[in-house]
Structure 1
């Protein structure tokens, strides 16, 4: 496995990746979701192709204290974050090629462009406030 399955014993590893400014690709799913189960292998393959980024699988029910207030409308939902900046949050098709294109497009942005986009509209400003994994980890304690 190349991704981290988040639990209460390894949250510090996720926080360290974010604090180091690494890109984090989080997939928010649920154990009961068949689509998530079949997407898991594709997510692992994506993680293997991007060893410079941290990939984390978050079961929204097992980690409800961390992500309980996030508005997860459908599965899989991806959260892309570099350091303290959320670059993307939303449901995607369970297609690794699509996720890879999304990740590459965000990772190619210059830091100042990523910061500008983070505040460019209300949805993105909401992501910074509501979806920031560093903040959520701190709040969950």
Structure 2
């Protein structure tokens, strides 16, 4: 299982890499995030085949760059060199689990993503791989 906070830089995922990434964009000062984290980590332990990361957007401004995360938690889901989901999520673990399963079971097209979703995913994946 890969569940970690932001770590030292390494290689970006390759286009053919099959690992799914689930990244929670959070803030240390956010009470909702602090409460949400234990369930996020519990789900990570149940799904060790996925790469789970907890990313404090203030500690890793270098990765988030000028993207303004306004709602916490915000979730980023990606695989290979493609983001599939970037957006706020109700802080309910069942919602997180259903969302992750829906992408893994048949990833919908990423065409409706914000323009910054895939570049953000690639920066995070490169830094946290």
SS at match of 1:52: coil
Residue 1 of structure 2 corresponds to residue 4 of structure 1: no
Distance 1:94 1:26, change over 3 A: same
The match for 1:99 is: 96
Q: Which has the larger radius of gyration?
A: 1
Unaligned runs of 5+ in 2: none
Distance 1:125 1:40 in 2: 25
Q: Note the C-alpha offset of 1:138.
A: 5.7
The answer as to whether partners of 1:80 and 1:88 remain within 8 angstroms in 2 is yes
Q: How many pairs were matched up?
A: 125
The match for 2:18 is: 21
Residue 110 of structure 2 corresponds to residue 118 of structure 1: yes
TM-score by length of 1: 0.77
SS at match of 1:3: strand
Distance 2:78 2:97 in 1: 14
Q: Note the C-alpha offset of 1:127.
A: 4.4
Q: Note the C-alpha offset of 1:68.
A: 2.6
The answer as to whether partners of 1:30 and 1:59 remain within 8 angstroms in 2 is yes
The answer as to whether partners of 2:24 and 2:73 remain within 8 angstroms in 1 is yes
SS at match of 2:48: coil
Unaligned runs of 5+ in 1: none
The answer as to whether partners of 1:86 and 1:127 remain within 8 angstroms in 2 is no
Q: Note the C-alpha offset of 1:70.
A: 2.1
TM-score by length of 2: 0.84
Q: Note the C-alpha offset of 1:90.
A: 0.6
